[in-house]
A and B are shown apart, each in its own frame.
Chain A
Amino acid sequence: MTGVAVTGAAEGAQPGVEPVAPQRRRRLDERRLVAALFLAPAALTVLVLVAYPMASTVWLSLHSSDTGEFVGAANYLRIFATDTTRHAVLNNIVWVVVAPSVVTALGLMLAVLTQRVRWSTALKTILFMPMALSFLAVGVTFRLVYDESPQRGALNAAIVAVHDAFAPPSKYYGVAPRDGTGLVPADGGYETASPVPATLPVAMPVVGLPRDRIPSDAAPAAAPAAGTDLRGVVWLDFTRGGGGSVGAIDDTEVGLPGMRVEAVREGKVVATATTDGAGQFVFPGLSDGEYTVRLAATNFTEPFRGVTWLGPRLVTPAVIGAYVWIWAGFAMMLIQAGLAGLPRDVLEAARVDGASEWQVLRRITVPLVWPILGVVIVTLSINVLKIFDLLYVLPPDSSQDEANVVALEMYRVSFGGGLDYGLGSALAVLLFVLVLPAMLFTIRRRRRQRP
């Protein structure tokens, strides 16, 4: 804008008589003054809003925030001496390497594929829509998507549903024998501590079954009648409201039907039985000798609880996933614009020559849109380096150390409790230095493109 104003002023000076030397100088001074006047607001804005804060940040980064003393590079050295800050820098490297390339690759795939489908405009609009959401909103939403509880987290709900379709949990998971009732853990199940004679009924009291998981066909437990075959009872040894006696069948206690029981002799399962409604089981034909009676492990298979997405190990990939979700549509749109400008005759010639679609993509399309892919990757790299909001909102506090990146650490050390503006400013300067190459690349490209 100021450029236009200056040329305008210069043109205004053109007409008139041939000026003599002193007049010309005055004219020149006048023009300079006008130029300065027009430039002043912009220059002032840049100075106050950009130059001053930058200088101030550098100044702060060289001083201790406790004492205000000049400390030289000490704050910068602390970045690499402290575990959390070093981890933040490493995470940023992971982000820059992974996120832009995944987004670009996905964007390219989507751009190529959406060219070929019907309703492609509608599809593209949907894919582009996440761009309209704020990172904060996406962070909150994905916090729910990644929630560990399958009842709340959409992703874990889906994974658990698929898992359970193939390997459903047992109906008695979480159930265990009472302490001191002669049953010990064995191979994921529980068995009698020592072999029992077949003539003696086996009492197997267990606890820990919530009320809502007691089977509907469970009948009041009863001690088995004496008999010659190996027999026993498995029952829920807990009286609701308390007051039951340990290891004995009380009035309101129920048997556990459908429990798989194994008779083991010399380490080998010799017979299996299943309990009835009252929790009783019989091994017909096992009438002499001693057996170890075991509640099989298959009774106690724990339900699959899904994946701890936002735990220390998976939190960075999980947040990158949310980032990809937002930006893939954007990359697709840019690449699509590039694809539209490709010379069709080259593509068609390749197809006529018998190239497969994959070959066309790899040998022709990608090399031709490569400049655009470069722009997308560089733009995203700058964006990824200073990523903050998604990481501030998405991971729970307990995983923030593991999810940390430089921009987040900058905020945390400055305002999160330590009020360490020195270290915070040093991190800000480091971030600037990291963004610089990508910025220079973009600026140079622009220059080259100019006529």
Chain B
Amino acid sequence: MLVVLVLGGCTIGTPDAIDPSLGNFAGRTLEVVATWSGAEQRNFQAVLNEFMRRTHATVRYTSGGTDLAVLINSRLAGGSPPDIAFIPEPGVVAELVARGVLTPITGTAAQAVRSNYSQAWQDLGTVNGQLYGLYFKVANKSVVWYRADAFAEAGVSPPSTWEELQALSRTLTEAGITPMAAGGADGWVLSDWFENAYLRIAGPERYDELARHEIAWTDPSVVRTLELLDEYWRTPKFIDGGPSGATQTSFTQSVANVFGTEPTTAMIAEGDFVAAEIRRLNQVTVGEGARFFPWPSINGSPPAVVTAGDEAVAFHDTPETNALMTFLASPDVARIMASQGGFLSVNRNLDPSSYPDDTTRELAREIIDTPEVRFDLSDLTPQAFGGGTDAHMWVLLQNFLDNDISPTDLAQQLEDAAVHDFAGRP
């Protein structure tokens, strides 16, 4: 907030000197679209203000909300795409590249990406050997949040293995506390469960193969993962509201059931963004009453992190678009965003002290330090399979949670859907 005010003051005051590394773009107009609204949009506006101050360009931000893909597609159909879009699904980026509507990142922007991002993140932004995307904002999805007082009451401490998580959950039920909240009404919550378990059971290589549908969903590793989820989800009293109650609970509600005014549940397995919800509920402090532990290891699997992120891609090959890309890849921007909270960066030249608190720093450190980082599998698949409220993977996992479907049957249903949805893939 403070940063916004300070920067706002700058733009209103006397004209500032042009940043020669970016260039003078007075009179040029850029348009940026992303899913962010509310506080996230306000925070990002601080970055755009700083860019406008340094280059005298005009940048307009448009929020696409949850319908970002619709916005981009209709703008493309109308022949006026934005200059830069932040897209959460690499699968969509690949589709856009195949349609030939994106411009590769080149010149100073490419240099900035190379010097500030690790090879792994550059690879994630690369399609057909060309760099198209810059990972601006990332999420750490391999996190389980817990209420410290619930753990204290049951006399348990954070688990590091799956067996410990099960034992701890049992102890919590004995103390009369529901162990786990799951917002199954939002399909992506369940796909995150699957991805974390799968990455640990099958390992990173198989994970990549499954994301590209090079192995079938009927693979034994998938069935084993579904069996593990089935066992945990169906253990009486483990899931808040039981399986059918969980499919009626939204993500927001599930956080409130753990950290709200009348908490019933001890844990919730979801990403770093849960912290923002906890702050909004304003009942416990993140880092004190609300803490997290990394997703537990399964059968001795090494630490692994499932991430997601918004990838900046360009639709126009203009100097001002390139300058904004260069700027977005800089540690300066990462610092502006990080200091405002609710933001994790994989910019390796960002000083970790920019983060507002230890919890955020720790969440960011895990993404950068963990060797096995994998992108959210459902976001890598075609939209019809893993990228929307109607996507097959989401819907099938919801059916699995709510109904008595065997893991083998579900694996077959997922495979049938994948065969259909991957068919039209570029």
Residue from A397, A399, A420 having most chain B Cβ neighbours under 10 A: A397
Expressed in whole angstroms, the Cα–Cα distance for A398 and B387 within the complex equals 15
Counting CB contacts under 8 A, is B65 at the interface? no
Given contacts A148-B248, A211-B153, A412-B390, contact A419 B402 (CB under 8 A): no
| Residue in B closest to A416 when the chains form the complex, CB atoms | B390
Cβ B384 vs Cβ A418 within 8 A: yes
Residues of B within 8 A of A418 (CB): 383-384, 388, 390
Give chain A residues whose Cβ lies under 8 Å from the Cβ of B247: 311, 396, 398-399
A233-275 interface (Cβ within 8 A of B): 238-243
Closest to B156 in A: A242
Interface residues on B, range: 35 or more
Contact residues in B for A66 (Cβ distance below 8 Å) = 424
- Chain A residues near B152 (CB, 8 Å)? 241
Bound complex: CA of A310 vs CA of B247, how far in Å? 10
Interface: A53 (CB within 8 A): no
The reply to whether A396 and B250 form a contact with Cβ atoms under 8 Å apart is yes
Contact B176 A308 (CB under 8 A): no
Residues in chain A near residue B383, CB distance under 8 A: 417-419
B153 CB contacts on chain A under 8 angstroms: 211, 240-241
CB of A413 within 8 Å of the partner chain = yes
Does A290 make an interface contact (CB < 8 A)? no
Q: Do residues B70 and A415 form an inter-chain contact, with CB atoms below 8 A?
A: yes
Q: Is B391's CB within 8 Å of the partner chain A?
A: yes
B103 — which chain A residues lie within 8 A by C-beta? none
User: Which one of B182-190, B200-208, B215-223, B302-310 contacts A?
Assistant: B182-190
| Nearest A residue (CB) for B172 | A208
Which residue on chain A has the smallest CB distance to residue B246? Answer: A398
Q: Which of A66, A148, A396, A398 has the most CB of B within 10 A?
A: A398
Let me know if A397 and B187 touch, CB within 8 A. yes
Q: Which residues of A contact B341 (CB under 8 A)?
A: none
Q: Which segment of B12-20, B23-31, B237-245 sits at the interface? A: B237-245
- Determine whether the beta carbon of B248 is less than 8 Å from that of A419: no
Among B152, B174, B389, B394, max chain A CB count under 10 A is at: B174
Closest residue of B by beta carbon distance from A420: B384
| B244 contacts across to A, CB distance below 8 A | 308, 311
Q: Which of A148, A240, A312, A416 contacts B175 (CB 8 A)?
A: A240
Q: Which residues of chain A in 290-336 are interfacial with respect to chain B, using CB atoms and an 8 Å cutoff?
A: 308, 310-312
Question: Which residues from A are CB-within-8-Å of B402?
Answer: 311-312, 398
Within 8 Å by CB of A398, from B67, B70, B187, lies: B187
* A3 interface contact, C-beta 8 A: no
| Interface pair B187/A415, CB less than 8 Å apart | no
Q: Which of B69, B154, B185, B395 contacts A401 (CB 8 A)?
A: B395
Smallest CB separation, B390 vs chain A (Å): 4
- Chain B nearest CB, measured from A221 CB (Å): 16
Asked if A417 contacts B67 (CB within 8 A), the reply is no
Question: Are the CB atoms of A396 and B390 closer together than 8 Å?
Answer: no
Cβ-closest chain A residue relative to B250: A396
Verify if A207 is at the interface (C-beta below 8 Å from B): yes
Q: Does B177 contact A (CB under 8 A)?
A: yes
- Cβ distance B156 to chain A, nearest Cβ, rounded Å: 7
Judge whether A14 is part of the interface by a CB distance below 8 angstroms: no
Are A242 and B70 closer than 8 Å at their CB atoms? no
CA distance A412 to B383 in the complex (A): 12
Please judge, given known A-B contacts A312-B402, A418-B384, whether A398 and B171 are in contact too, CB under 8 Å. no
- Cβ–Cβ contact B389 & A178, under 8 A: no
How close is A98's CB to chain B, nearest CB, in angstroms?
Answer: 24
Most chain A CB atoms below 10 A, which of B154, B175, B187? B175
Out of B155, B384, B390, B391, which one reaches A242, CB within 8 Å? Answer: B155
Size class of the A contact interface (CB-based, 8 Å): 35 or more
Question: Within the complex, what minimum Cβ distance (angstroms) separates B410 from chain A?
Answer: 15
A116 vs B185: C-alpha distance when bound (angstroms): 46
Closest beta carbon of chain B to A255's beta carbon, Å: 16
* B176 and A211 contacting across the interface, CB-CB below 8 Å: yes
Check A208 against B389 for contact (C-beta < 8 Å).
Answer: no
Q: Is B175 a contact of A310 with CB atoms below 8 Å?
A: no
B173 within 8 A of A: yes
Please tell me if the beta carbons of B390 and A400 are within 8 angstroms of each other in the complex: yes
Closest beta carbon of chain A to B388's beta carbon, Å: 3
Interface residues of B in 333-374 (CB under 8 A from A): none
Within 8 Å by CB of A417, from B176, B250, B388, lies B388
Q: How far is the CA of A420 from the CA of B173 in the complex (A)?
A: 46
Q: Does A174 contact B (CB under 8 A)?
A: yes
Cα distance A312–B73 in the bound complex, in angstroms: 32
* A151 is an interface residue with CB less than 8 A from chain B: yes
The answer on a CB contact under 8 Å between B248 and A308 is yes
A26 adjacent to chain B (CB < 8 Å):
no
Interface assignment of B398: CB less than 8 Å from any CB of chain A: yes
In angstroms, how far is the closest chain B Cβ from the Cβ of A219?
19
Tell me the complex Cα distance, A417–B156, Å: 42
B262 at interface, CB cutoff 8 A:
yes
CA distance A239 to B186 in the complex (A): 37
1/0 per residue, CB under 8 A from A, across B284-305: the answer is: 0000000000000000000000
**Contact at A242–B154, with CB atoms within 8 Å?**
yes
Q: B176, A208: Cβ atoms under 8 Å?
A: yes
Q: Give the residues from 207 to 239 in chain A that come closer than 8 angstroms, CB to CB, to chain B.
A: 207-211, 213, 238-239
Which residues on the A side are within 8 Å of B391 (C-beta)? 417
Chain A residues with CB under 8 Å of B389's CB are 397, 400, 412, 416-417
Q: Is the CB of A419 within 8 A of B187?
A: no
Cβ–Cβ < 8 Å partners of B173 in chain A: 207-208
Contacts of A308 in B (CB 8 A): 244-245, 248
Chain B residues positioned under 8 Å from A415 (CB to CB): 67, 69-70
- B176 surroundings in chain A (CB, below 8 A): 174, 207-211, 213, 238
| B240, chain A: closest CB distance, angstroms | 10
In the assembled complex, the Cα of A178 lies from the Cα of B175 at a distance in Å of 11
B174 contacts A178, C-beta separation under 8 Å: yes
Choose one: B67, B185, B394, B424; the contact of A396 (CB below 8 Å). Answer: B185
- Option from A312, A401, A412, A417 in Cβ contact (under 8 Å) with B387: A417
Question: Which residues in A have their C-beta under 8 angstroms from that of B250?
Answer: 396
Residues of chain A in range 31-51 having any CB-CB distance to chain B below 8 Å: none
Q: What residues of B have a CB within 8 angstroms of the CB of A417 in the complex?
A: 69, 383-384, 387-391
User: Nearest Cβ in chain A — how far from B178, in angstroms?
Assistant: 9
CB distance from A90 to the nearest CB of B (A): 18
Give the docked Cα–Cα distance between A148 and B240 (Å). 12
A-B residue pairs in contact (CB < 8 Å), sample of 15: A208-B174, A209-B176, A213-B176, A240-B153, A242-B154, A242-B156, A397-B185, A397-B398, A398-B184, A398-B248, A415-B67, A417-B69, A417-B383, A417-B384, A417-B391
By a beta-carbon cutoff of 8 Å, the part of chain B in contact with chain A is 67, 69-70, 73, 152-156, 171, 173-177, 184-187, 237, 241, 244-245, 247-248, 250, 262, 383-384, 387-391, 394-395, 398, 402, 424
Q: A242-B154, A417-B390 are in contact. List 4 more A-B contacts (CB 8 A).
A: A208-B174, A311-B402, A397-B186, A397-B187
